[in-house]
Structure 1
């Protein structure tokens, strides 16, 4: 049995879809809400080192659009770490983490592969 941690914000529509899919398929998981549970236990630095800010940050989000052009043009992993730590809505959601992998966003087919639920 794999242990899944789902990171996100509970009122995010994509996070809701992912949680509903996991529950519908009887997949146990731990949900870590960026806002309610805080950012201290979130491995944001590791995600940025492993995947880069382009994969970790949601460049279609309202939070991204609210950044200045200078912030966007000078973005790097260190800047992303500072900004996303303060504004977790910049992170692409949900983040699904297991011992073997980390994925950003929700695609039903990827979740089915990850959990062995080939429907």
Structure 2
């Protein structure tokens, strides 16, 4: 299981802690320190579409009009912190966020 996020994200920390407490083997990948490849970004955007970008974030609000109008892949590639977090890969399937449905599927 791989949890993609950033080390300062409280939701990522909660998800990581809960998964480890449930006995899951989790690899944390900080997308700032170890950016996603174009193929990884494409896979996430294919799965979640525009939802892959956190449009409520200060990172997104700081984007230029040009970047706001660009594709989600370009937004995540230019500023990995704009990706909605966490993205969790488990058993070849991707999960977005840490809501009740994701917790029920993974815990």
Q: Which position in structure 2 is the counterpart of 1:66?
A: 62
Q: Which deviations, in whole Å up to 9, do the C-alpha atoms of 1:57-85 show, x marking residues without a partner?
A: 0011111111134433x24xxx3212211
CA distance in 2, matches of 1:6, 1:42: 17
Unmatched tracts of structure 1, length 5 or more: none
Q: Which position in structure 2 is the counterpart of 1:24?
A: 21
Unmatched tracts of structure 2, length 5 or more: none
- TM-score by length of structure 2 reads 0.84
Q: Which has the larger radius of gyration?
A: 1
- TM superposition outliers: structure 1 runs of 4+ over 4 Å: none
1:16 deviation in Å?
A: 0.7
- TM-score by length of structure 1 reads 0.77
